[in-house]
Structure 1
Amino acid sequence: MKKFFSSLLFVVAVGTASVTAQSTTIPQQQESIEVSDAELTQFAEVFQKMRMMNQEAQKEMMATVQNEDFELERFNEIHQAEMDPNKEVETSAEEDKKYKAVVSELEKMQPEFQKKMQAVITESDLSMERYQQLAMALRSDAELQQRLQEIMKS
């Protein structure tokens, strides 16, 4: 369940530009970008704030699932089957109804989460575009990942 919510929130956090880039073919050797320590520190601060917001959002989302008297594991199982055409799961009419109600509520919550996350980026010295560039670069640049880890340790 956490993985589902984390991926949902990560998509919200990084925005649609990175999702679009992710769904296209990206060469394995991406051109590395120049990132100053100050800029990486700013990214780390934003990232930490987003992680805290992510945890709060997960709690809200899990409460939404539980408010429909849905077990988190069962909801996740059904959701994974909905997202993966190769996966099937037997559901009752009641489960289908609960699932649709939960997804509808989660979709209503998403714009607010996205708005909060964009505000965190806007309040920093990073632009949304630059934050997305850094997030994409961190996916494939081991040295940049190491630098970020060092900054986050201090």
Structure 2
Amino acid sequence: MNTSELLLDAFGRIQEVVHEAVEGLGEAALRTRPDDHGNSIAWLIWHLTRIQDDHLADAGGYEQTYTAEGWHERLGLPFDPADTGYGHSEEDVASVKVPAELLIGYYDAVHARTAQYLKGLTDADLDRIVDHRWNPPVTLGVRLISVLSDDLQHAGQAAFVRGL
């Protein structure tokens, strides 16, 4: 297994959990928030997808799927197109009202673009600096692991909320 295949498998596992957490749910279930204060399934899936879209597009030098394919308009959320959900208030979380088909559609579009990008990666690519704002600067390998970790945590949280 090479670097590209390993990463494709890892991101494919996120896709499986996202589908399991969302498919078959109505909007009321997607918007349910633990104790009326926690993050809803809809917000968690939207947020993890935005993070993956934003971070990989930046690292890969391509336009985010959110804007390039019109997902910002289709989802109709009251946020700036650059918003990824970081630092959202309880009111912001509550405003994410998106049907399952659109959440899955956006996630799958981002996953397809992610897979396209990952297919071309080599071991040497992982050492490329993608963010100089940190000390030490962030490499592509570190950024990919960060996105995987964040996405898996949020997908697991969505699955937990579904189980409630």
Q: Same fold (TM over 0.5)?
A: no
Q: Give the TM-score normalised by structure 1.
A: 0.34
Whichever of the two has the greater Rg, that structure is 1
Q: Give the TM-score normalised by structure 2.
A: 0.32
Structure with the higher helix share, 1 or 2? 1
